[in-house]
Structure 1
């Protein structure tokens, strides 16, 4: 039985795939594109979380829990003794961790002591092997091979001049932050970072037969809010949050490509059924059963999806490697580890499975024609029988289901579910497609009507359109989805960038910013030199100098960005809404301002009590105001600068704002500021800061935009596929017309009118649906980034639709040329 099924599949299905190579290649290409997009999207987020997870395991080894600092300021070292005294703690290994440098030179400094050997980690093995070098070399450090340092070399590292005591070999170094690592004994690392008596984390190895849950509770009580007790994967979870918005938005765009690909597979299978009607009818007349024929068609589609998915997944691996460099630096630098490109283990299987399932689903719908066509009817041209007609009951069911999907999308978009709200975009587009299925007949009639506008060639083309309603509807949907995606998601992203830019316009009120990293990366550290502020105050022409701090902090299992300002420095427009009374309460440490996403995740609102864990213990404050804020990386908690310095033990500032005195020579003052600031610090004007942040936000949407245009190109391939089927179906008819004296130009125009009917109708539907989804998308994106996004329809949406339509119509050229060049004798002799 299995042998018979294989022979039938090999002869009638796989043989057809080779016989119609063009159709096979097109189907595999579009499925490959979908698989490639999915793999690249998964790889982008997986690389960030995977890099953090890899670093965590390299440092933590067999640690069951980690006690970590609430911010990068860490916690007091005496807390270590309290941790070691907790029952059930087998080993407590202290560490100091701090990122050094930026960009390609970014590295991680690790400080540890001899107890690290108890972790059984890569770090412990390295220290055990080269401990003697560190003990005998003053201020000695071990460096990874990627650092480009030689043994014995001296270089400035933080506040000390360090000596390279040893270089970690490539194999070992690659396991720890990709070789961009500096390892020192704990006292040396504390001197380098000017953090004597401070720790960043303590890795906990549980004693034998200890319940980890109970141990976590005892440790939490012991640290009393001065630090965070969590599983080692907490850092990975927090890193995933930073890239989640990019992942969701790109997945929504990739889903559009997969839907379009499914329609193309449907058309390909419809083409297969149409071309094989004589063979199918003969098999049915000889007693063949319908079910094996349908199963063979589905197996054929699954094979297409599998091959296309495998090829696309391989290409997607390389696409992801390129795309990861397009991520905004603020996202990449928000995690302590260097991002190393890697493809998650689930990425390729999930992408291939999605392609196979989409192909099977599309093929199953197309293969239903085999069940509905009787043996004698199967000899008739496609579209004549009942197989291409939609039953009234099915239309009503589709209409109800479509309305339900759209209603669900509206509820999800309005429900403020955070980044999950983005799912409303794909759901609404799916609902529109289902509604359009219920309206198949009016849509096909509209396509035929548009074709008739082009005179006699259009009249002939309209008859072909009406003979294959399902196929025409499917192609209209591919064009509609392409235009909808461009109009809706493209314009919503543009509105988001505009809203984010407007929210940061307040930065332009400050003349100059000095920060350790570029302003678009939200400078969270290291702290600026302690004497820098006084130097800037002393510059002639400086009217005022203010401080600000930004710092990532753990709040619950999530991560927030602490922000504190002085003299209005670096304040954004959304924070200007905080009243003077609330600012006075903030100065007393009575309250804080939080962004919407923080309020949502913690379940608080204005007036709620909130407990903040800090290195100085837990502090209970009141939520004074919930504000919209661009929270693509992390939510925001705003508090008074002096309070932040006291509670979180972070003296100094990460941003200094400088205002010029009235009448001062801006160029001269700017030159003096640059001269006073160390060379490795950043100096930007307020307007430059706004522009840089705007560019960073726009860069974050560039990957999604690229995927959308790929969807349009896939739509063009779908139109090519449908029109090629139309030409193949009518080879005899076209040959007779040519024999009767019809010109090649007339036939060329006939096929082009079909394309125009399909393209124009699909584009108009896309504009209508896209405009509605655009509004819904602005609401969903507003919840995703925790700020208000205004809906601004743009004349560009028509331009986008015309460009998308033009690209789609390009697919009509090859079939039209084939129809015009079809040899008369060959066409008449077909079948």
Structure 2
């Protein structure tokens, strides 16, 4: 043990303190990647955890739940029908609806006295003093701790004016939906939401020793297709599917971040071991075994991994909270729960473990050099040792591994694995790296040939490149990764946003849209019944087309359903040919987005069973279309069927066109003046821009990942160029001693960096274009639209930026080379 501690103190710890910059660079890479993983897990966990927490808080000891197919709920009679089913101890009715402005939606909970049968978070709210206050105040409600309301305050909410009978207090009630809710007697809640006689949920408390499967079957028979019978946790599962786009982007980002970090860690450790060859030689000379040295290296890797993982965990929590606040409402509004940041318990342990394993794996690959270093050989200059030569067998193995990774990426992409398809891009990126390693000779040769064209200083730079192929390849690949990732992320984001915008282009053909939601939200709130007449009576209005949107559960999958009418400019209707438009309007069937059709396992011509508040309906699938489905999938039926099947009379949007000769902007102003201020009236172009903005906000994780990769690449590039200078410190001193000027040394380092930057940028452009195309294939599958890959004019900008990055990274080591003290450089270390 004493010998071990002395060895670590004399060699390992001394190495850390001598080259502290290298140590910091390694920890920074791991910290950033760990932070990204914690942020990703936190975002995904928050999206599903918020609804899980709310559902568990309301359901209590309920075994099953009767829930509505849409947010219109189901008739109150269903509660009476299921209450008499054998095995039901209590059937607790509940209305759960959102109300208020989009910026601060409140969850309205309508309950009655039977809710005391639930062992839920609300149990304390509907008894005692709070219940007495609620019953004594006309139109009274109980306000959650997070609403900001005060006792006795009167609030206009929807068509009803309510009075805050009391403000609830306590930790448990504060945690329920973040405290943003109102508890009201069931009749009051129905008036607030304008849904008299309707329920959203009936929570079933089972009698002791009741068989759950038999009870569910009996309840399904009693419901007769008018509602859904499932466990309370089924809501969270549907919500998780509905926000799959955000989770897909987050998961893909985490995978890419760790692929990049593994390479950069290998890069750093490989350079570090090359710089420590004299130390390794000394250890070998005094009798140390290769296995002992490798174990020390891996022990370092474990320590670095744990430290970087723990540091990154704290940053990841902050990044996750920030990213959650940036998610657009269009991607989260299908969640009745208020989005809260909820970090799963396993997030930090997984991040620390992932960072440690990544560091150990990359360090283990780099530590193979130890087995090729002999005591005398290790004292040779860089390039003279066989440890600097890449064996043919290793290159062949890398080529085979690259082929396997390419095949795995293609198989995953074609298998339609949903969220797990995010791994395909990581496999593709890893394949490119190992294939580039297999071709390291020609790549390094190209850099050396280019350097020799840069004058006398470039000739020496070319010699230096030839003598250290491993180091040059690693440095060059750092530039390649920076360029490739930049092109992939920015190009893929542009492709996805442009393709989504093109799929909604027909929205701009309408002069004005009227809804209760802003243009970047999905309009699912019903408009008052008299709005059609009021808008039609506005001077200058030529035509009004009604439409209705609602989130509905189709065969267990939550999807956005469009109810369209004649003359609609909605994108789902516009994507059909004339014959299918006629059949859809005639009520002959349903149109599904491709991803929803694949999830449901149906295609054109198949029959689909749809549960509705009026019972199950059988409908023919008319067509499957390409349509942006960031919210789980889309479907379209005629407006007549929408109103009839789902018991949702009215419309959620009005498409308004100006009369011939009337200025559209003036017409929009007139319509806006004729309606209440809480109603949103916006132009068709604004509706289209709202979709683009929501898409851009949904891709915020990709932009964060781009910044992270650029930061890591810049750190790694500076580190490798500095290490390269340390390797050639004595050579540079000898050049100075024989008459070389400081300017010549400066030009030599800059020539080497320029050659590496140009070749690395060129290879990065190739990698970026390939990955951008592959991303478009994955996005087409995940987003439900045809995402086309269109390289933009920014390619030249990215290439120039990469060259500038490599030159900037080379300036500190170049200045250090120019200022090198001759005596210190040629003296023994």
Bin of the TM-score, shorter chain as denominator length: over 0.9
Separation in structure 2 between the aligned mates of residue 104 and residue 536 of structure 1, nearest angstrom = 25
Shift of 1:420: 4.2
2:29 is matched with 30
Where in structure 2 are the equivalents of 1:456-605 lying within 5 Å?
A: 456-525=456-525, 527-572=526-571, 575-605=573-603
Aligned to 1:146, what secondary structure does the other structure show? coil
Shift of 1:118: 2.1
Matched, 1:673 2:671: yes
Q: Which string of whole-angstrom CA distances, capped at 9 and with x for unpartnered residues, describes residues 265-320 of structure 1?
A: 22332233233322322222222111111011011122112211211221121122
1:385 is matched with 385
Maintained 8 Å contact 2:95/2:190: yes
1:146 is matched with 146
Q: 1:451 to 1:64 in 2, by over 3 A?
A: farther
Aligned to 1:520, what secondary structure does the other structure show? coil
1:208 is matched with 208
Q: 1:87 to 1:284 in 2, by over 3 A?
A: same
Maintained 8 Å contact 2:668/2:682: no
* More deviation, 35-44/648-657: 35-44
Shift of 1:637: 1.0
1:663 is matched with 661
Separation in structure 1 between the aligned mates of residue 83 and residue 677 of structure 2, nearest angstrom = 43
- TM-score with structure 2 setting the length: 0.96
Separation in structure 2 between the aligned mates of residue 680 and residue 308 of structure 1, nearest angstrom = 49
1:402 is matched with 402
* More deviation, 643-652/390-399: 390-399
Where in structure 2 are the equivalents of 1:765-780 lying within 5 Å?
A: 765-780=763-778
Shift of 1:795: 2.0
Separation in structure 1 between the aligned mates of residue 730 and residue 325 of structure 2, nearest angstrom = 53
Q: Which string of whole-angstrom CA distances, capped at 9 and with x for unpartnered residues, describes residues 323-382 of structure 1?
A: 222212201222111111232222222222221111111111111111111222122233
Q: 1:229 to 1:10 in 2, by over 3 A?
A: farther
Separation in structure 2 between the aligned mates of residue 577 and residue 104 of structure 1, nearest angstrom = 32
Q: Which string of whole-angstrom CA distances, capped at 9 and with x for unpartnered residues, describes residues 115-140 of structure 1?
A: 22222111122212321111111111
Where in structure 2 are the equivalents of 1:394-433 lying within 5 Å?
A: 394-433=394-433
Shift of 1:504: 1.1
Aligned residues: 828
Matched, 1:633 2:619: no
Aligned to 2:127, what secondary structure does the other structure show? helix
Matched, 1:367 2:379: no
Q: 1:579 to 1:648 in 2, by over 3 A?
A: same
| 2:791 pairs with one of 766, 790, 793 | 793
Separation in structure 2 between the aligned mates of residue 283 and residue 415 of structure 1, nearest angstrom = 52
- TM-score with structure 1 setting the length: 0.96
* More deviation, 433-442/663-672: 663-672
Separation in structure 2 between the aligned mates of residue 427 and residue 399 of structure 1, nearest angstrom = 14
Q: Which string of whole-angstrom CA distances, capped at 9 and with x for unpartnered residues, describes residues 139-160 of structure 1?
A: 1100023222111122212222
1:646 is matched with 644
Aligned to 2:96, what secondary structure does the other structure show? strand
Aligned to 2:205, what secondary structure does the other structure show? strand
- The alignment's C-alpha RMSD in Å is 1.9
Maintained 8 Å contact 1:256/1:711: no
Q: 1:699 to 1:77 in 2, by over 3 A?
A: same
Aligned to 1:637, what secondary structure does the other structure show? strand
Separation in structure 1 between the aligned mates of residue 9 and residue 734 of structure 2, nearest angstrom = 35
Where in structure 2 are the equivalents of 1:269-288 lying within 5 Å?
A: 269-288=269-288
Shift of 1:6: 4.8
2:87 is matched with 88
2:746 is matched with 748
Q: Which string of whole-angstrom CA distances, capped at 9 and with x for unpartnered residues, describes residues 678-704 of structure 1?
A: 111110011111111112112222330
Shift of 1:471: 2.5
Separation in structure 2 between the aligned mates of residue 804 and residue 220 of structure 1, nearest angstrom = 62
Aligned to 1:232, what secondary structure does the other structure show? coil
Q: Which string of whole-angstrom CA distances, capped at 9 and with x for unpartnered residues, describes residues 95-117 of structure 1?
A: 10011123442110001112222
Separation in structure 1 between the aligned mates of residue 602 and residue 353 of structure 2, nearest angstrom = 41
Maintained 8 Å contact 2:255/2:422: no
Shift of 1:410: 3.0
Q: 1:133 to 1:491 in 2, by over 3 A?
A: same
Q: 1:791 to 1:270 in 2, by over 3 A?
A: closer
Aligned to 1:165, what secondary structure does the other structure show? strand
Shift of 1:649: 0.2
Aligned to 2:126, what secondary structure does the other structure show? helix
Separation in structure 1 between the aligned mates of residue 185 and residue 822 of structure 2, nearest angstrom = 86
Shift of 1:654: 0.4
Separation in structure 1 between the aligned mates of residue 210 and residue 751 of structure 2, nearest angstrom = 76
Maintained 8 Å contact 1:267/1:721: no
Q: 1:9 to 1:81 in 2, by over 3 A?
A: farther
Separation in structure 2 between the aligned mates of residue 401 and residue 277 of structure 1, nearest angstrom = 29
Maintained 8 Å contact 2:242/2:558: no
Separation in structure 2 between the aligned mates of residue 151 and residue 576 of structure 1, nearest angstrom = 51
Maintained 8 Å contact 1:479/1:712: no
Separation in structure 2 between the aligned mates of residue 419 and residue 267 of structure 1, nearest angstrom = 30
Separation in structure 2 between the aligned mates of residue 485 and residue 587 of structure 1, nearest angstrom = 46
Q: 1:270 to 1:664 in 2, by over 3 A?
A: closer
Maintained 8 Å contact 2:458/2:752: yes
Maintained 8 Å contact 2:477/2:760: yes
| 1:709 pairs with one of 690, 697, 707 | 707
Separation in structure 2 between the aligned mates of residue 296 and residue 58 of structure 1, nearest angstrom = 51
1:65 is matched with 64
Aligned to 2:141, what secondary structure does the other structure show? strand
Shift of 1:419: 4.8
1:167 is matched with 167
Shift of 1:23: 0.9
* More deviation, 757-766/7-16: 7-16
Shift of 1:216: 2.5
Maintained 8 Å contact 1:43/1:317: yes
Maintained 8 Å contact 2:244/2:632: no
Shift of 1:222: 2.4
Maintained 8 Å contact 2:754/2:806: no
1:757 is matched with 755
Maintained 8 Å contact 2:479/2:760: yes
Shift of 1:4: 4.8
1:185 is matched with 185
Q: Which string of whole-angstrom CA distances, capped at 9 and with x for unpartnered residues, describes residues 410-437 of structure 1?
A: 3433454445444332221111111111
